[in-house]
Structure 1
Amino acid sequence: MSDYRKIFADGFWNNNVVLGQSLALCPLLAVTTSATNGLGLGLASLVVMVAANVLASLFNPLISRAVRIPVNILMIATLVTITDLLLNAWLHPLHKVLGLFIPLIVTNCAILGRVESFASRNAILPAAADGLAMGLGFTWVLVLMGGIRELFGAGTLFANASLLLGKHFAFLEMVIIPDYRGILLLILPPGGFLILGGMLSAKRLLEQHIAARKAAKNKLVTAVEGG
């Protein structure tokens, strides 16, 4: 159980795809003009991550080490192609918005990295948990960043969710600031860099604060035990 806690802690925070590894920045900055777009790309990436990890773990004993990387790349490309076709068939408006960034999931180093460093060396269940944790960690960063940019750029949250993700997501649509003109900079690419820098700084400051509190607590415990 402790291993699974570590897997999810790494995926969500410690080794987060964006905040910990600084990977997948191209789609992150390009797509997150709204929380809806971030959620759509995040869920698509999540499906590919979980499926790729499971298949890599399942077929690893059958694949020669000499050709493992090309086979894994081919497998990821196949999964991304299937995901792209399904999105085009069932969620065409979202497919049009995300455009090229769905096929570019193939080039997401985080997916190949997890397949190579974790899934190929572990059993199916831990591999699936790792894919799920990394996918969810990537998704929450996409949604948070898209939400911040959308909120201060347009005054809404999850705009057009029912159109892009389906009518069942209509409950997400919110107008936070009516008649809001917005800050155009946050919708444009420079706004993505500004928000990403702020999120990275906030993560580092929070980690330093937690580390300082732990150090103070340990010092107090040591002093009490020492009489």
Structure 2
Amino acid sequence: MAEKSYGALVGEGLWSNNQALVAMLGLCPLLATTTTATNGLGMGLATTTVLVLSNATISLIRNLVRPEVRLPVFVLVIASFVTAVELTMQAQFYELYLVLGLFIPLIVTNCAIIGRAEAFASKARLDRAIVDGLAMGIGFTLVLMVLGGMRELLGQGTLFYQAELLLGPAAEGFGLNLGEGFQGALLAMLPPGAFIGLGFLIALKNIFDKASERRRRARQALTKSAPIHDMAPSSG
């Protein structure tokens, strides 16, 4: 079977096989940490870093690991990178680390990372494993950030609140603030709001996919009917 192009890998990671919207993996951090866009972005970047590094490492050692012990080895690799990311966040982004709390170490159990390691990285070359990890991570990060932004804006009238926790002092005051008088929807900040927001994003993706499929079929129908008209006898 022919290998997928890099463009196809990126398209799958960002849209057609997005781990959050299609595979429904990684829902624990997705629903728990997306109270703000900043939190979602920080969690997404941490997950992407682990995903890329673990994919690359597993691709390099794929021919050295016996099949019967591959899953324990994959988990050990992922846990090592999660520990490195956790320590880095403690040193460089301590306040954001306090906000994300337990969910940073729980990246080890993120089914999206283990799933890509088993389904793709363990069978692919290094360059393709890195592209896959990067695309899947960015796709997951975008969902985290969009869902967090939706909940933050509806719940407290801000967008990228406390961005300086992730981007440094230069980002202080960055973002949108609708004012202290904004009466937000408390539901958006509660766990049910996360489920409702995710459901909305999944529904929106399905609508776009169905519209794209209808356009594709319409183009195919026009392509098939074109030769018939071309073969019709002229009146001259």
Provide the rounded CA distance (Å) in 1 between the counterparts of 2:45 and 2:171.
Answer: 13
Give the counterpart of 2:20 among 8, 13, 18.
18
Identity %: 46
Task: Identify, as 1 or 2, the structure richer in helix.
Answer: 1
Task: Give the C-alpha shift of residue 163 in structure 1.
Answer: 2.9
* Larger mean Cα displacement after TM superposition, 80-89 or 59-68: 59-68
Note the C-alpha offset of 1:177: 5.6
CA displacement, residues 167-190 of structure 1 (integer Å, 9 cap, x when unaligned):
244474221466312111101111
Deviates more, 1:62-71 or 1:82-91: 62-71
The structure number with the bigger radius of gyration is 2
**Quick one: which of 145, 155, 158 aligns to 1:156?**
158
1:45 deviates by: 0.2
Shift of residue 221 of structure 1? 2.2
Question: Which residue in the other structure is 2:111 paired with?
Answer: 109
- The equivalent residue for 1:126 is 128
Q: Deviations for 1:33-77, whole angstroms, at most 9, x for unmatched residues?
A: 100000000000000000000000111122222211111101101
| Structure 2, gaps ≥5 residues long | 230-236
Write the letter of the residue equivalent to 1:71. V
What letter matches 2:89 in structure 1? L
Greater shift in the superposed pair: 41-50 or 193-202: 193-202
Match of 1:95 among 85, 94, 97: 97
Q: 2:183 aligns to what?
A: 181
TM-score normalized with structure 2 length:
0.92
- Equivalent in the alignment of 1:66: 68
CA gap 1:2/1:123 in 2 versus in 1, 3 angstroms: closer
Could you report, residue by residue, the CA deviation over 1:86-126 in whole angstroms, capped at 9, with x for unpaired residues? 10111000000000000000000110111111111111100
The residue number in structure 2 matching 1:8 is: 10
Structure 1 distance, partners of 2:169, 2:117, is 34
Deviation of 1:219 (Å): 1.2
Q: SS of the counterpart of 1:19?
A: coil
In structure 2, the partner of 1:84 is 86
CA shift at 1:2, angstroms?
6.0
2:126 & 2:76 partners in 1: Cα distance?
19
1:191 partner SS: helix
Question: How many angstroms apart in 2 are the aligned matches of 1:4 and 1:69?
Answer: 26
Q: Which runs of 4+ in 1 moved over 4 A?
A: none
> 1: distance between equivalents of 2:173 and 2:180?
18
RMSD: 1.5
Q: Which TM-score applies when normalising by structure 1?
A: 0.95
Aligned to 1:135: 137
Kept after mapping to 2: 8 A contact 1:52/1:75: yes
Amino acid at match of 2:223: V
1:210 to 186, 200, 212: 212
Structure 1 residue aligned with 2:234:
none
1:219 aligns with 2:182: no
Which residue of 1 is the match for residue 233 of structure 2?
none
SS at match of 2:5: helix
Q: Secondary structure at the match of 1:96?
A: helix
TM-aligned CA distance change 1:130 to 1:171, over 3 Å = farther
Total equivalences in the alignment: 227
Partners in 1 of 2:216 and 2:61 — Cα distance?
Answer: 43
